[in-house]
Amino acid sequence: MLSLERRGVDSRLMRYGSPVLALVLTVVTGFLVFLLLDRDPVEGLRYFFITPISDRHGWAELGLKMAPLLLCAAGLTVCYRAKLWNIGAEGHFLMGAVGASIVALQFSESTGFWVLPLVLLGGVVCGALWSMIAALLKTHFHCNEILTTIMLNYIALNLLLFAVHGPLKDPFGFSFPQSAMFADSALLPMLIPGTRLHIGLLFALLAAVAVGVIFSRTFIGFQLKVLGEDPQAAAFAGFPQKRLVWFAFLVAGGLAGLAGASEVTGPIGQLVPQVSPGYGYTAIIVVFLGRMQAVGIILGSALLALTFLGGEMMQIAMNLPKAMTGLFQGLLLFYLLTCDAFIHYRLRWNAKAAKPVAPASAANTTLAGQER
């Protein structure tokens, strides 16, 4: 029979091969799902993975979806390397979008070059302030950050809905729950003319590189890694654990807030309830898929951005629900976590079978016969 056996040394091959194997298993499962839905699986996979990036416009859209994912993932990487399981990137993102919108609407008549930096700063500050709530509960009240950040996500969503139905609602918007359009001075410049791709992608790439430098070249990155590997060793070395927790949460909140600000000042140009299709939650998959490394999360964010585009394409071309995006993302995460188990464990075949034990009644009958 098969059993799991602890490896003496973690498998380096599986550490980096696990994401590839998870992707292959996801594709195979997707093939079977299309068969069950009575759709051509080859055509379905082509629409999902290839058609969205078959032209210049598709690549631009990929970069557009990739930017917020990468910003959120870069911030979460700082937390996760320190074993701080922040699930609140979605809430940071939403509050960053709200904060940037408040600033942008206050300067709707201004045309100065300083408007856009101020709007982006508003998003960063609001995202960071929102993350401070979880950091405070963690450091002073020892609350589990998983629970607090998840609950704060729902509070942030309701604050967003309150804003677009109340104080930020466009008075000339025919009662639609949305803000007024931002002024041109509050919008991000485009990277590629004729597309929607803006310089938010450059912010995201810079953030990923900066996070990589923090953990490879700075003392605070070393402290965060030690805190994640062994909190007792960090305490013995005199590392300021509470300050490190605050630093990690503030970086995660600030970068996710910047992602939210980039979204409302980029392709949307206003605050709407559907500002995020789940970027903050999907960024968690990006972090684990990218192995918490700069290059890895860049590639992971590109792959997960493709799932958003593929889901929209299948909805149009094959009349399938948009929930296919969540299905593929969920499958990828499930297989990734499953394959990650083989980093620490290996399958072992136990050839020896247990000897059958005679029932008690049969044994008693045998003994009785011998006595006779």
Q: Provide φ and ψ at 58, rounded to 5°.
A: -65, -40
Q: Which of 48, 69, 68, 52 is nearest to 324 (CA)?
A: 48
Length of the chain: 372
Position 366 in a domain = no
Report which residue type is found at 235.
A
Position 32 in a domain = no
Position 17 in a domain = no
pTM: 0.91
Q: Which of 272, 271, 267 is nearest to 122 (CA)?
A: 271
Burial class of residue 3, CB neighbours in 10 A (0-12, 13-18, 19+):
exposed
Give the CA distances from residue 320 to residues 229, 263, 315, in Å, rounded to whole numbers and listed in that order: 44, 26, 5
Domain count within the chain: 1
In order, the DSSP letters of 46-87 are: HHHHTGGGSSHHHHHHHHHHHHHHHHHHHHHHHHHHTT----
Position 135 in a domain = yes
Q: What is the dihedral of CA 295, 297, 302, 303, to 10 degrees?
A: 110
Per-residue model confidence as pLDDT tens for the chain (372 residues): 778 888 888 888 888 899 999 999 999 999 999 999 999 999 999 999 999 999 999 999 999 999 999 999 999 999 999 999 999 999 999 999 999 999 999 998 888 999 999 999 999 999 999 999 999 999 999 999 999 999 999 999 999 999 999 999 999 988 899 999 999 999 999 998 889 999 999 999 999 999 999 999 999 999 999 999 999 999 999 999 999 999 999 999 999 999 999 999 998 999 999 999 999 999 999 999 999 999 999 999 999 999 999 999 988 888 888 888 999 999 999 999 999 888 888 888 876 654 555 555 444 544 444 444
Position 350 in a domain = no
pLDDT at 351: 66
Position 16 in a domain = no
- Domain with 231, as residue range(s), is 40-319
Name the residue with tokens 């490394």. Answer: 293
H or E element, residue 347 = strand 345-349
How far, in Å, CA of 122 to CA of 124, rounded? 6
Position 360 in a domain = no
Q: What is the CATH number of the domain that holds 297?
A: 1.10.3470
Pairing of strands 345-349, 2-6: antiparallel
Position 234 in a domain = yes
Name the residue with tokens 């992971």. Answer: 300
Structure tokens at 130: 């929102």
Structure tokens at 338: 């499953």
